[in-house]
Structure 1
Amino acid sequence: MNLGDVEREMARLDRLYRPVATAPVDVSNPDAMLTACTAIDRELAEINADGRAESLLRAAVAAYAEGDDLVRAAVRGLFDRYEWFRWGAHFAPDWTTAEELRARLIHFSARDQGADTRDELLGLRDLLTRARRLGIDPAPVLAEVAAMSSDADRYGMGSTRDLLLRHC
């Protein structure tokens, strides 16, 4: 799949995720929040986006990992442009290998801090905690992915490269 194909599919899935992501939720009522979360899960299942999104993530991650700086910048631009896809598309949570850790760290790098560095950092910490619990040393892959990451400080908390290197 070339980057043009990736972008077309990402735009299509972005349009599917948008109404789910932007539906109002009453955060003052815990029961309403639980109902809303259940409804979101149901809506995502109905649009059947998860399998297509994961396949697309794998294609984007492969392009990012194999590409040069221009390709990586283009992939980061796609994740920036298609925010609802970025919001909704994730790898399956049940990973157990160093190769899957690498794919998730490349996905982290490609999102380039998303809309909020703090949220991204929480996800990164969870990812690294799981890796260590599985007996996977994340340091080598953190260094590898940091080398392909952006060095732009987007939100005043350091670049994605810096964030990854801090966790080596």
Structure 2
Amino acid sequence: MDLAALETDVARLDAVYRPVATAPIPLDEVDGLGERIAAELAALGVEGEAEAVLRAVISRYAEGSDDDRAVIRGLFRRYTSFRWAAPLPGEWHGAAEFRTHVLRISACDQGADTRDDLLALRALCDQARKAGIDPAPILAEVAALSCDEDHYGMGSTRDILLRFASP
């Protein structure tokens, strides 16, 4: 699929997700918030389609040129609701799925807050080790595809992935 068609799909799904992604959350309603948001996202009925589009974007990111990867990083910067809501399965067991999750982190290029990626990477690496997967080679491979710009003063995505890859 070409990048223009991918952007069309991402933009459409971003518009679907936007009301949930941007809804205010009253401080007195935080109990059960995760479950409520999950239910609201499920009610939109686009989870399967969004996962398919996300996987197509990630595949293009992994297999494309440096220019393609720069364009895809731009998509994730522009379409923040899609970036926030488009699902990959939380449960996975193989190296290929671990790689897909790491590629997503690389493509999102720190999103709105690098700390989210740091926490996600820690959890992914822990899950990989529990599944008997050495995360280091995959992290190093994806780091080579990643942006080397330090967006928020915590290092570039490339630097962060390489730090997680080294013991």
Give your verdict on TM over 0.5. Answer: yes
| 1:7 counterpart letter in structure 2 | E
Q: Deviations along 1:12-64, whole A, 9 cap, x unmatched?
A: 1111111101112122x3xx223544332222112112111110111011101
Q: Secondary structure at the match of 1:84?
A: helix
Q: Which residue in the other structure is 1:75 paired with?
A: 72
Tell me, yes or no, if structure 1 residue 94 matches structure 2 residue 91. Answer: yes
Distance in 1 separating the partners of 2:91 and 2:36: 23
Q: What one-letter code is carried by the residue in structure 2 that aligns with 1:129?
A: D
1:41 and 2:33 equivalent? no
CA distance in 1, matches of 2:73, 2:114: 15
Match of 2:16 in 1: 16
**Distance (whole Å) between structure 2 residues aligned to residue 103 and residue 42 of structure 1:** 25
Q: Distance in 1 between matches of 2:35 and 2:90?
A: 18
Question: Take 1:34 and 1:48, find their aligned partners in 2: how far apart are those partners?
Answer: 24
Distance 1:114 1:18 in 2: 16
Which stretch of the first structure deviates more once superposed, 18-27 or 80-89? 18-27
2: CA distance, partners of 1:163 / 1:53: 27
- Report the number of matched residues: 165
Q: TM-score w.r.t. structure 2 length?
A: 0.95
1:5, distance to aligned residue in structure 2 (A): 1.3
What value does the CA root-mean-square deviation take over the aligned residues?
A: 1.1
| Corresponding position: 1:4 with 2:4 | yes
Percent identity over the alignment? 54
Aligned to 1:136: 133
Equivalent position amino acid for 1:73 in 2: A
Within 1, Cα distance between the matches of 2:145 and 2:60?
12
Return 5+ residue gaps in structure 2 as ranges: none
SS of residue matched to 1:34: coil
What are structure 1's unaligned runs of at least 5 residues?
Answer: none
Question: Matched residue of 1:136: which SS?
Answer: coil
For residues 32 and 101 of structure 2, the distance between their equivalents in structure 1, rounded to whole angstroms, comes to 29
TM-score (norm 1): 0.94
| Cα distance in 1 for residues equivalent to 2:34 and 2:139 | 32
